[in-house]
Amino acid sequence: MALQLDALTMGEIDQIEDITGQGIDALTEPGARKAKFLIALAYIAKRREDPTFTRSQAEALTLAEVNAITGGDEEE
């Protein structure tokens, strides 16, 4: 399941900002920490298919699993 950033709802963007503690535009700055952003993306993507999926479950995923969920491992 590829997750396109421009397909996020405003509520999902708000959730990402809540989880990361920063505005979504700050995440593209050089040196910005990405772990919470990746957790948030995985959480949002999985909740779309399974509303019972929790943030704790997203935090337990490996980077490879997050990439598979969000489409981060797909070539452009």
pLDDT tens digits in sequence order for the chain, 76 residues long:
567 778 899 999 999 999 999 998 888 888 888 899 999 999 999 999 999 999 999 999 999 999 998 887 654 4
Q: What is the pLDDT at residue 50?
A: 95
Instruction: Please answer whether residues 55 and 39 qualify as being in contact, where contact means their C-beta atoms are separated by less than 8 angstroms.
Output: yes
Residue 51: Cβ within 10 Å count: 7
Of 42, 1, 6, nearest to 24 by C-alpha is: 6
76 is a domain residue? no
75 is a domain residue? no
Domain that holds residue 45: 5-70
Q: Which amino acid is at 33?
A: R
Number of folded domains that form the chain? 1
Residue 47 to residue 32: CA distance in whole angstroms: 25
21 is a domain residue? yes
